Every structure is written in C-alpha cells, then in structure tokens.
A = this chain, B = another copy of it.
Amino acid sequence: MDKNILGIDWGTSNRRAYLIDEHGACLAEHEDGQGMLAVGGRERFGASLAGLLATMGVGAEVPVIMSGMVGSASGWQEVPYLDSAVPLQRLPAHLVPVADADWAGRCRIVPGYCYRSGAAVDVMRGEETQLLGAVALGHRDGWLVLPGTHSKWVLLRDGLIQAMSTYMTGELFAMLSAGGTLSSMMGGDASDAEGYAIGLSQAGRNEPLSNTLFRVRAGVVSRSAPAAQAPAVVSGLLIGAEFSAAARALEQAGGAARITVIGSPALAARYAVAAAHFGLQCEVLDPHRVYCTAISQFINQA
C-alpha cells in the first residue's frame, strides 16, 4: 500500500488540504473557507474534518497532519508552543495527537513556536510547517519571510530559529480599508508602482506608522497627492516598515543582505520590489511546494 498522508493548513479563515505521497508529490488538493472561525466551536472540528475527507475521497487509512490555528486555544485543541531552541528538523517528533477518541489514532497537530528575546515575545502557528519545508529544501540559513495577514520574518541558522518578528501588515491594511479616516481613499489599485515606491521610501525614514499613515490622508485632502495612489502608498508604508526594521537587524547582525520569501506569486512579487528598494537580494519559494515538502517529512512519524 502506498504511504500517503493528508496535510491540512487549517487557518483562521481558510483551510487548505494536500494529499501527499512519500516523495512529497501532491496527489490531490482542496481549499475552502472552513477555517477555524467558520467551523464554529471546538466540538465541531471532527465533523468538519470528516466532511473534508469525504469531499476529497481520502480513505480511513491515511494519516492526517494539521497545522495552523487548529492548534490554538480557539481551535480544535490547544497545543503548547515549542521553544525556539527545538530545531525545525525535530518538528516530526513533537506532533501532538488529537485527544478526541474518534480521531486519536490518526490525526496529529503540528505545534507552533514561541520565541523570546528579553521581554519581547513572538509566536507562530502554521508558519513552522512552511519553515520545515524550506529547511528540507535546503534553506537552513538566513532570513525567511512569510508575507500575509501577519507577516513573519524568521532568521534561521542551521535550521534553528535565531530571531522572529511578526508584522500585522495584512491585517492593518484590511482595517484601514474597511473604515476610518483613510477608507474613503482605499478603493484604488494597491499595486500602483509609483505609489508603492513612495510608501517604501517613506517607510525607510523610520517614522511611526500612526504618523505616516495619516500623511497619506493629508496628501490627498491638501491635493498634494492623487487619491488613486493611496492604497499603494499605504501598502508601501506597511511592507516597507517590515524591511526598514529588518534592514537595521541585518546591519546589526552583519548577515548576508538577502531574504527568501515564501509567498504567492502576487505577494512575493511585491516583496521582491521592496527587497530591491532596500538593497536586499530576494529568492522566492512557492508556498504549495514548500508545504508539500514539509508534510512529506512527517510520513514516517504519522
């Protein structure tokens, strides 16, 4: 019998499932909006998973590995964070079986990581699985960047997490678009190249976002800047804030001026532009390939 495994990236709003063979090849894929919030309560995760398996035609013999918010306090079962002293390659030894008796023998949850540096704390749930995939693909050192609602910048050394910073980039962009002072000017095209470059340049001056975001509005109401560019400027300010902070960290650490972005083509392209702006080399990894590679690492443990 083939050694297959089902990996589920079960996030807050969405879930993605990949049926993987032992070589990391993806045999089937499914994505839907049944994220943690849509499932609607801890006791309903089992039924939700059963529905997914039926939809995908995945048999009862296939083990299931889940990552992401499914393991949070509001998910199926809270799984404690690993300390960042645990190397990513050791993740397969730290999977936590689902306690639910119907699923205990078959389903495991990947723990997230907690990183502490002095009083500063950062956490991830889901990204650790991507990082394991990146490590398995040979990216064991340097800055890995996972853009999104909560963009993660993770510094690896030989597969160990050396530093971790999360930026609420996507969430703040969505909030500012949905309501408040800037929202009336956020309807345009956020990918406008000139506006994005303006935002990146302003971000490089390292002023507080609470100030630079207001200035986008001030520019429009004083007719100094076109309203149509506002979303791209805001995007540049938020993504630029990540790079500006990282550029300082890179300078302090004296590391190589390069990053590896794990992101969808559209988002990765935007980060590549920012990287060039801040003088960083940028390599892009496809998140699906990275995820499937990660899940294949779990086959012998599952």
A contact set with B: CB distance below 8 Å: 72-73, 81, 114, 116, 119-123, 150, 165-169, 171-172, 175-176, 179-181, 198, 202, 206-211, 213-215, 218-219, 221-222, 224-225, 238, 241-242, 244-245
Contacts and interface: CB of A to CB of B under 8 A. Distances in A.
Contact of A208 (B116, B167, B180): B167
Contacts of A119: 198, 202
Nearest to A174: B180
Nearest to A249: B207
In the complex, the count of this chain's copies comes to 2
A282 B179 CA distance: 34
18 contacts: A114-B222, A116-B224, A121-B215, A121-B219, A122-B214, A166-B211, A166-B215, A166-B218, A167-B214, A171-B181, A172-B210, A175-B179, A206-B206, A208-B209, A208-B242, A208-B245, A210-B241, A210-B242
Given A121-B215, A218-B121, A241-B208, A175 B168 contact: no
Nearest to A219: B121
Contacts of A171: 180-181
Contacts of A121: 215, 218-219, 222, 224-225
Contacts of A114: 218, 222
Contact of A167 (B179, B210, B224): B210
Contacts of A207: 245
4 tightest CB-CB pairs across the interface, nearest first?
A208-B241, A167-B210, A166-B214, A123-B218
A68 to B, nearest CB: 14
A27 to B, nearest CB: 34
A208 B165 CA distance: 11
A204 to B, nearest CB: 12
Of A73, A119, A214, most B-chain CB atoms within 10 Å: A214
Contacts of A218: 114, 121-123, 166
A202 to B, nearest CB: 8
A78 B218 CA distance: 15
A75 B140 CA distance: 57
Contacts of A73: 221
